[in-house]
Structure 1
C-alpha cells in the first residue's frame, strides 16, 4: 500500500483512473484540486484544495506521498508553471514516482495546445540530467476508442467529443493522401488498469510509457467503421496546405467541446483542433509505443474492432 497524490483529480480521465485505484482498496489516495472540495467524499479518498503557485505548501501536502499522477491542464501557459512547481515540490518531499499530464499523444507536433506537455518533458529530462532525482513515465494511450461510440456511452466519465471519423453519421474528414497515416486506439478502461498496475510494478518505469490497444491506418479504420456500421462513410478530403492556412471548408465541423475549453471558445477552437489533430495524425503524433504492453505481458488489451462491434450492435 502506498500513498498516491492525484493532481487535477476532478477531470474526466483522472476520475476513470481514481475509480480503478479505489476499487483495488490497496492505496491511500489524495486528490489535489483547484476547485472547492466536494461535500461528499468516497472512502479511501482525501480531497485537498491546492495552490499550485505555492511550492512550499505543495511540498507539505506531498509529504509521505509515493506516486504523483498529474492531470493538470495548462493550455494557457506554454511554460507550465503549475506542473513545474508540482515537480519541484515532489522532489523536495521525496516522492518516488511522477506521471506528468500526458494521457494522449506521443508527439506534440501540430498540437499547439499541448505545448505545455512538451515543456514538461524537457523539464523532467533536465532535473534528471546529472542523475536520477525523480522516476517518471509519460503515459501515452493515443486516442481513446471510446470517442467512437458517441452518442452511446462506453465509459463512466469520459466526455465524448465529436471527432473527425463520425460513426454515428457515417462520415469522416481526413487529409487528402493521409489514408496510410497510423493512429493508436486504446480503451480508457485499459489506460486506467495499466496505471493501477504501474503503481504496483516493482521495476523501473519506462520514460516513454506507451499503452497500445490497436494501431491502424486511417484508411483501414474508415473501412472498419463501414463494416461496423453496415454502410459506406461519406469521406471529405482536405489538403494539408488548406488545413495549415486555416481556410478549409467542409460540410460539417466536429464540435470539440472538451471540458477544459471555455464554452465561448468552443466554435473557434473546433476549427483549430480539427486541423491540428489531422495534421498531428499525419505527422505520426497519435501513434504510440507498446512499452507498458511489454512490461505487463499477462494483461489482455481491448482491440478496437471487437470493442466497436459490441458498442454498435443493434444501434440504428
Structure 2
C-alpha cells in the first residue's frame, strides 16, 4: 500500500492516472483540486481535497506519510513556477520520497526548441530546480515522465480515452490529410497511448528501485515516413502538404514567443490564434528531435506490453 498525492488532479491526464491507480486497489490517493471536491466522483481509496496551492504548511500537513507526489499542473499557468516549487519544497519538508514534475510531453531535446514551444519553458526550469536541490546531496527522488505525444490523437474524432480530449494534431486520419516539412521523412516521433502512460505511472508508484531522473516512456518510435506508410497499410493514405523548414523558422523568429492561454478563461479568439500558430512550432520542434523520447521506463518495466502504433491505427481505422 502506497500513499500518493496527485496535484492538479482535475486535469484530464491526471484523471486517467487516478483511474489506473484505483484499479490496482492498492493505494490511498489524495487528489488535490482547486474546485469544490463535491464536483468529483467518489472513487475507492481517493480523497478529493481542495487547495489553493499557496500555503506551504497546509501542503506539508497533507504530504505527511506520502510516498509520491505526482504533478499535472499546467506549467504555462504557473507564474515563475511558484506553485510547483512550493509543491517540491513541501514534499521535501514532509519527507516525501518521490516527486514527478509536470512533464507528460516531448523528450530530452525540448530545451533546443523552447523558441518554438515557449509554453513548455517551465518544464526545463523545474528540472533545473530539482537538479540544484539534489546537487550537494539527494533530498528527493524524482522522475521526469516524458512521453512524446499521445497516440490517441491519431484516433480523433473517435473516443479512445476516458477523460483526455483529443485533437487531430498534424496527422488527421479522418480527413486523410497531413502537414510535414520537406525532407523530414526520417524525423522521429514517439507515440504513447494515454492508457500506457497511466499504466506505467501506476507501476512506477510500486517500483522498488530508484526512479530515473529522465523517465522516458516510449510507446512506439516511428519516423514520419513510417507513419505515412502505416496510413497506406490500413487504407487511410494521407495527402501531405509539404512546407519548407526555413519558412517555418523565419515565422517563429518574426513572431517570437507565443504562450498557451488559460483555456478556462481564454476567449475563442485567443484560443483560435494559438491553435493557428501551433502547427508551425510543433513541426519545427519535431524536426529538431523534441518529440523523440528515450525509453528508461520501458527498460525498468520489461514485462509491460505497450500498445503499438500499427495496432492502435488498425483498431480505430481498420475497415473504416
Fold shared per TM-score above 0.5: yes
Q: What's the secondary structure of 1:80's corresponding residue?
A: helix
Note the 1:198-277 alignment, pairs <5 A. 198-228=204-234, 230-246=235-251, 262-264=266-268, 265-277=270-282
Q: What's the secondary structure of 1:173's corresponding residue?
A: strand
Quickly say closer, same or farther: Cα 1:202–1:131, change in 2 above 3 A: same
1:182 aligns with 2:183: no
Root mean square deviation of aligned Cα: 1.9
The corresponding residue for 2:301 is: 296
1:4 aligns with 2:4: yes
Q: State the Cα distance separating 1:54 from its structure 2 match.
A: 2.1
Write the distance in 1 (CA, Å) between the matches of 2:263 and 2:128: 26
Write the distance in 2 (CA, Å) between the matches of 1:239 and 1:35: 45
Write the distance in 1 (CA, Å) between the matches of 2:99 and 2:236: 45
The corresponding residue for 1:50 is: 51
The corresponding residue for 1:62 is: 63
Write the distance in 2 (CA, Å) between the matches of 1:187 and 1:235: 24
Q: Residue by residue, what CA displacement relative to the aligned partner does 1:256-277 show, whole Å, maximum 9, x if unpaired?
A: 9995683522211112221221
Write the distance in 2 (CA, Å) between the matches of 1:77 and 1:245: 29
Q: Which moved more, 1:103-112 or 1:37-46?
A: 37-46
1:36 aligns with 2:36: yes
Write the distance in 1 (CA, Å) between the matches of 2:151 and 2:274: 22
Q: State the Cα distance separating 1:95 from its structure 2 match.
A: 0.5
Give the structure with the higher percent helix: 2
Contact 2:173 2:236 (C-alpha < 8 Å) held by counterparts: no
The corresponding residue for 1:157 is: 163
Q: What's the secondary structure of 2:292's corresponding residue?
A: coil
Q: What's the secondary structure of 1:209's corresponding residue?
A: strand
Q: Residue by residue, what CA displacement relative to the aligned partner does 1:107-162 show, whole Å, maximum 9, x if unpaired?
A: 33231110111110100101101111000001111111111011111111111112
Q: What's the secondary structure of 1:104's corresponding residue?
A: coil
Q: State the Cα distance separating 1:98 from its structure 2 match.
A: 0.4
Q: State the Cα distance separating 1:58 from its structure 2 match.
A: 1.4
Quickly say closer, same or farther: Cα 1:261–1:51, change in 2 above 3 A: closer
Contact 1:12 1:159 (C-alpha < 8 Å) held by counterparts: yes
Q: What's the secondary structure of 1:157's corresponding residue?
A: coil
1:123 aligns with 2:98: no
Contact 2:263 2:271 (C-alpha < 8 Å) held by counterparts: no
Quickly say closer, same or farther: Cα 1:102–1:159, change in 2 above 3 A: same
Q: State the Cα distance separating 1:285 from its structure 2 match.
A: 0.7
Q: Which moved more, 1:59-68 or 1:94-103?
A: 59-68
Q: Residue by residue, what CA displacement relative to the aligned partner does 1:226-275 show, whole Å, maximum 9, x if unpaired?
A: 222x153211112223223339xxxxxxxx99956835222111122212
Q: Residue by residue, what CA displacement relative to the aligned partner does 1:53-97 show, whole Å, maximum 9, x if unpaired?
A: 222221122112110010011314563111011001101111000
Q: What's the secondary structure of 2:215's corresponding residue?
A: strand
Q: Which moved more, 1:99-108 or 1:283-292?
A: 99-108
Q: Which moved more, 1:108-117 or 1:133-142?
A: 108-117
**1:284 aligned residue (289, 306, 312):** 289
The corresponding residue for 1:93 is: 94
Q: What's the secondary structure of 2:306's corresponding residue?
A: coil
Unaligned runs of 5+ in 2: 253-259
Contact 2:77 2:262 (C-alpha < 8 Å) held by counterparts: no
Normalising to structure 2: TM-score of the pair?
A: 0.91
Q: Residue by residue, what CA displacement relative to the aligned partner does 1:282-304 show, whole Å, maximum 9, x if unpaired?
A: 11010111101111111111110
The corresponding residue for 1:114 is: 120
Normalising to structure 1: TM-score of the pair?
A: 0.92
Write the distance in 1 (CA, Å) between the matches of 2:99 and 2:74: 16
